[in-house]
């Protein structure tokens, strides 16, 4: 099985767990002790109304800031005791039913199992609860959150504050996305550009620039981007630090002695509130002549999306954010532009001009998807654009950067 990546709270490294032995070592070291973000159960009582309500309260309480609910480890007065495992029969189905039917609004969780060696049907169930965009969640007429180690009922003032904060962050996302060209320091507007906004549902607990402990943007990018770029500009070109009031920013090198930037200008901002903003070329001239036709290179677009999402996922894991995200893609000046394939393949007429001035897509995702399942988020963002360019069957399903270059269908 692939290693699990468990969120144990802010300023704590995510715990990588792959085997039963990894769990035992983590429990013995005290890494899995109960905290504001970790709840342990040796077993879940047999299914009945009171037991299911208690289970619902435990899970709902973790939804405000995110965390893990682990079944199969003894709770030794708040410390992690022996890793004993639990009977897994029907447990995943039961948790699905509880999160969907006993919690309001329904809660989205991820379930992972680590089997106990040589003991069929027994293992540890890890329920990952992301910080919910619609938290707090209600169970049995009350809203639930966490204290230092245990669930608790939230006060009316806490509920009002949480609801107001969530509403303020969700309202106006589309407007903030469309404002990206105004905020782009390149000032480029002759050709179409790509703007990517990756915004956490809850602001970072501390400024990201502080949490990253003085790292330069290129250091973060180098650690985050896990593929070899094939197109220009690349993420490796983010060598020019840009002073910015909202966080850490970098751009590709200024292109001329006069201080003017070129059409390949790439800009990245790691906002102190956790938001990641990326601006890159989307429409470029296919060839060096001044009258060369305009084209969208799908490979470049996919690389920009994939790298931007990986960067956001990496920053989140480094700074401890385990929650929901809104992601928006805004591409400008597309009308009449063809995919670059139209200019080097024989069937030119097959690639029709893009029919609209702009492309806008918004999705919701999680830290886990950004960091570990990036292609799924990339595909949801880009599929409409690729369809409009007539190349969706060539590039989808999307799996990883670079592999699409080998496709010939």
pLDDT tens digit sequence for 71-88: 999 988 889 999 999 999
Determine the straight-line distance between the first and last CA of the chain, rounded to whole angstroms: 32
What per-residue string of b and e applies to 78-92 under the rule 16 or more CB within 10 Å gives b? Answer: eebbebebbebeebe
- 253, two tokens: 């090198």
In whole angstroms, what is the distance from residue 354 CA to residue 390 CA?
A: 9
pLDDT tens sequence across 109-139: 889 999 999 999 999 999 988 888 788 999 9
At which of 101, 135, 168 does a domain end?
Answer: 168
Residues 251 and 367 in one domain: yes
CATH of the domain at 71: 3.30.950.30
In whole angstroms, what is the distance from residue 189 CA to residue 344 CA?
A: 27
At which of 109, 141, 168 does a domain end?
Answer: 168
Q: Is 314 helix (H, G, I), strand (E, B) or coil?
A: helix
Structural domain that includes position 50: 4-168
Residues 81 and 205 in one domain: no
Instruction: Indicate if the pLDDT at residue 254 is higher than 70.
Output: no
| Selection from 11, 4, 5, 3 nearest residue 35 by Cα | 11
At which of 116, 146, 168 does a domain end?
Answer: 168
Residues 132 and 193 in one domain: no
User: Cis bond leading into 105, ω under 30°?
Assistant: yes
Residues 203 and 313 in one domain: yes
pLDDT tens sequence across 368-383: 889 889 999 999 999 9
Q: What are the start-end ranges of the E strands in 133-246?
A: 138-139, 142-146, 151-153, 193-200, 240-242
Instruction: Indicate if the pLDDT at residue 258 is higher than 60.
Output: no
Per-residue pLDDT, 9: 76
- 17, two tokens: 């767990």
- 97, two tokens: 């039913």
| Selection from 254, 259, 252 nearest residue 217 by Cα | 252
Residue pair 351/389 in contact by the 8 Å Cβ criterion = yes
Residues 118 and 12 in one domain: yes
pLDDT tens sequence across 180-189: 888 777 666 6
Q: Specify the number of domains making up the chain.
A: 2
In whole angstroms, what is the distance from residue 199 CA to residue 117 CA?
A: 41
In whole angstroms, what is the distance from residue 280 CA to residue 300 CA?
A: 9
- How many CB atoms sit inside 10 A of residue 203's CB? 18
Between 170 and 212, the higher pLDDT residue: 212
Residues 194 and 156 in one domain: no
Per-residue pLDDT, 197: 97
Per-residue pLDDT, 207: 86
Query: In sequence order, what are the residues at sequence separation of 6 or more whose Cβ sits closer than 8 angstroms to the Cβ of residue 311?
Result: 220, 221, 224, 225, 235, 268, 270, 276, 278
Residue pair 357/335 in contact by the 8 Å Cβ criterion = yes
Residues 151 and 206 in one domain: no
Residues 124 and 231 in one domain: no
Residues 31 and 82 in one domain: yes
0.85 exceeded by pTM: no
What is the phi/psi pair of residue 187, to 5°? 70, 10
Residues 183 and 93 in one domain: no
Per-residue pLDDT, 144: 95
Residues 267 and 373 in one domain: yes
Residues 95 and 115 in one domain: yes
Q: Tell me what the pLDDT averaged over the chain comes to.
A: 88
């Amino acid at each position: 099985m692939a290693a699990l990546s468990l969120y144990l709270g802010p300023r704590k490294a995510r715990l990588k767990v792959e085997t039963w032995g990894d769990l035992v070592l983590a429990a013995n070291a005290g890494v899995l002790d109960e905290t504001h973000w970790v709840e342990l159960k040796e077993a879940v009582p047999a299914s009945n109304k009171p037991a299911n309500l208690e289970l619902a309260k435990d899970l709902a309480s973790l939804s405000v800031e995110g965390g893990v609910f682990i079944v199969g480890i003894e709770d030794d007065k708040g410390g992690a005791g022996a890793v004993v495992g639990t009977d897994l029969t029907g447990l995943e189905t039961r948790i699905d039913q509880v999160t969907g039917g006993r919690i309001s609004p329904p809660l989205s969780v991820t379930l992972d199992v680590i089997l106990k060696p040589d003991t069929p049907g027994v293992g540890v169930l890890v329920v990952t609860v992301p910080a919910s965009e619609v938290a707090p969640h209600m169970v049995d007429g009350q809203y639930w959150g966490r204290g230092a180690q245990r669930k608790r009922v939230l006060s009316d003032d806490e509920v009002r504050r949480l609801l107001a904060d969530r509403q303020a962050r969700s309202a106006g996302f589309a407007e903030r996305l469309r404002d990206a060209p105004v905020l782009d320091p390149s000032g480029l507007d002759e050709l179409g550009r790509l703007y990517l906004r990756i915004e956490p549902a809850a602001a970072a607990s501390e400024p990201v620039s502080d949490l990253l402990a003085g790292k330069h943007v290129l250091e973060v990018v180098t650690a985050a981007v896990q593929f070899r770029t094939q197109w220009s500009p690349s993420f490796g070109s983010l060598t020019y630090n840009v002073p910015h009031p909202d966080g850490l920013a970098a751009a590709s090198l200024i292109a001329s002695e006069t201080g003017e930037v070129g059409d390949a200008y790439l800009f990245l901002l790691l906002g102190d509130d956790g938001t990641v903003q990326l601006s890159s070329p989307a429409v470029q001239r296919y060839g060096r002549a001044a009258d060369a036709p305009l084209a969208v290179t799908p490979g470049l677009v996919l690389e920009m999306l994939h790298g931007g999402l990986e960067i956001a996922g990496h920053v989140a894991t480094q700074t401890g954010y385990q929650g929901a995200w809104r992601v928006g893609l805004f591409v400008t000046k597309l009308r009449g532009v063809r995919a670059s394939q139209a200019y080097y393949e024989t069937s030119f007429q097959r690639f029709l001009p893009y029919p609209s001035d702009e492309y806008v897509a918004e999705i919701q995702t999680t830290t886990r998807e950004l960091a570990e399942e990036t292609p799924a988020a990339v595909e949801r963002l880009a599929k409409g654009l690729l369809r409009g360019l007539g190349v969706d069957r060539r590039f989808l399903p999307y799996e990883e950067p670079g592999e699409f270059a080998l496709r010939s269908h």
